[in-house]
């Protein structure tokens, strides 16, 4: 798997990074990474990043976010999926961060999971992109591709994360998400993956693949 990831890291050079990764590199602020993670749920990157930029132009701190009304947040982030629910959640989490954590996003998995609406995937992604800490964020792409390769045999993303924690060298933990997200969006698609142009096709077991290009 180490050699596979190294090859894929080279293969994705030149592709635009996922929206949350771009937010982390551009602003280097755990709070903004957390907000962008919340916006990205069930939303394409092409929608998430512009919405995040509009919102951050109005408020880029928990204090600033609480000065906005819910309709203001809704208008800024529209048309992300479930934008009304996300607007309320962003304000609620901002209030908790301000009142319970002194305005600083918690930098532990336990602390992040204590925030209502923050799940395992979001918490791990914030640790990686917001704090630069080693964590494995398993989304649908990471789950699908690691199982398709045959490196993992797991039924759920949570199971995949547990297996990866025990097998994957920690040096790759921070990179596995953005690399496999890009690969999954562009080459290793859920249906009919582009195996003919994949540099690791020869060592991929293609588990569950019934048709490919």
- Confidence at residue 65, expressed as pLDDT on a 0 to 100 scale: 98
pLDDT tens for 47-102 read 999 999 999 999 999 999 999 999 999 999 999 999 999 999 999 999 999 999 99
Cβ atoms within 10 Å, residue 202: 7
Q: What is the CATH number of the domain that holds 191?
A: 1.10.1670.10
What integer is the mean pLDDT of 185-190? 96
Question: Are residues 129 and 23 in contact, defined by beta-carbon separation less than 8 angstroms?
Answer: yes
Domain end residue (candidates: 80, 96, 131): 131
pLDDT tens for 144-182 read 999 999 999 999 999 999 999 999 999 999 999 999 999
Tokens of 163: 């297996």
- Confidence at residue 91, expressed as pLDDT on a 0 to 100 scale: 98
- Confidence at residue 121, expressed as pLDDT on a 0 to 100 scale: 94
- Confidence at residue 199, expressed as pLDDT on a 0 to 100 scale: 96
- Confidence at residue 191, expressed as pLDDT on a 0 to 100 scale: 94
Domain-embedded: residue 82? yes
pLDDT tens for 92-151 read 999 999 999 999 999 999 999 999 999 999 999 999 999 999 999 999 999 999 999 999
Residue 111 sits in the same domain as residue 158: no
Residue 143 sits in the same domain as residue 164: yes
Domain end residue (candidates: 131, 161, 195): 131
pTM for this entry:
0.93
pLDDT tens for 87-102 read 999 999 999 999 999 9
The domain total for the chain is 2
- Confidence at residue 141, expressed as pLDDT on a 0 to 100 scale: 96
Tokens of 60: 């880029």
pLDDT tens for 2-23 read 899 999 999 998 899 999 999 9
Residue 125 sits in the same domain as residue 160: no
Domain end residue (candidates: 116, 131, 146): 131
- Residue 210, burial from CB neighbour count under 10 angstroms (0-12, 13-18, 19+): exposed
- Confidence at residue 45, expressed as pLDDT on a 0 to 100 scale: 93
Question: Are residues 121 and 155 in contact, defined by beta-carbon separation less than 8 angstroms?
Answer: no
- Confidence at residue 93, expressed as pLDDT on a 0 to 100 scale: 98
């Amino acid at each position: 798997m180490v050699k596979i990831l190294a090859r894929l890291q080279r293969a994705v050079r030149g592709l635009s990074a996922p929206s949350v990764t771009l937010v982390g590199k551009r602003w280097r602020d755990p709070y903004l990474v957390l907000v962008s993670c919340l916006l990205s749920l069930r939303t394409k990157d092409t929608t998430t990043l512009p919405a995040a930029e509009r919102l951050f132009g109005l408020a880029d701190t928990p204090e600033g976010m609480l000065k906005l009304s819910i309709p203001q947040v809704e208008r800024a982030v529209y048309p992300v999926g479930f934008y009304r629910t996300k607007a309320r959640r962003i304000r609620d989490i901002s209030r908790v961060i301000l009142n319970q954590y002194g305005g600083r996003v918690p930098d532990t998995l336990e602390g992040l999971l204590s925030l209502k609406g923050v799940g395992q995937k979001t918490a791990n992604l914030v640790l990686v992109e917001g704090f630069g800490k080693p964590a494995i964020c398993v989304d649908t792409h990471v789950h699908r591709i690691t199982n398709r390769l045959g490196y993992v045999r797991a039924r759920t993303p949570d199971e995949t994360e547990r297996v990866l924690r025990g097998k994957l060298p920690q040096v790759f933990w921070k990179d596995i998400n953005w690399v496999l997200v890009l690969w999954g969006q562009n080459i290793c698609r859920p249906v009919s993956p582009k195996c003919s142009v994949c540099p690791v096709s020869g060592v991929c077991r293609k588990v569950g693949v019934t048709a490919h290009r």
